Amino acid sequence: MRRASIAFGLALAGLLAGCGKPPAPAPQATVSIRDLMLTMVDPSADALWASVGSTVSAKGSVDLQPRTEAEWQAVRAEATLLTEAPVLLSAPGRQVALPGQKTGDADVPGIQAPAVIQAQIEADRPKFEGLALGLQTAGRKALAAADAKDPVALLEAGAALDEACEACHHTYWYPLTPKPKVPRGQS
């Protein structure tokens, strides 16, 4: 009986000693929003937009859309990245750009510097997270379209993706450039 009590006491002491250890550190954001845009969001959005539509040439028009299981799976993979990228983009501590990084179009009038964008995000974080949610919503639409193998829904998801991207870019990246005017009757 005494051995069981000692064993129980040692086991309890071991458990309690483990409770005092600090938790392992959580992963930290290490690449910039700029890096995520260049390596994940832009390529995935471009692939999604290129996967469906129409082209017109002297030989006539051709409807583009995924047709094989492999093509639909490729679209699904891009939609998956677009659905999850907003989680990465809005991670706490994520910087717009790392020290020394500039946007590729930094010399274009109306393009804001990363430090200015960072200050705007920090001043109204919920707004940035709401815009990231718009991207995620568009990604989910693309994901649902890929799962349904529905080219019309994929085209609509592409339009929603464009709207989500432009909403964020006009807010942070190039807010000083005028929005293109849509001719009357076309919206």
Are 169 and 143 in contact by the 8 Å Cβ rule? The answer is no
Q: pTM of the full predicted structure?
A: 0.80
* Dihedral sign of CA atoms 5, 6, 7, 13 in order: positive
Residues comprising the chain, all counted = 187
- 24 phi/psi in degrees, rounded to 5: -60, 145
pLDDT reported for residue 122 = 96
- Decide if 51 contacts 75 (C-beta within 8 A): yes
Kindly list the averaged pLDDT for each block of 10 residues, start to end, along the chain of length 187: 53 56 82 96 98 91 94 98 97 93 85 94 97 98 98 97 96 82 65
Instruction: Quote the Cα angle for 65-71-73, to 5°.
Output: 125
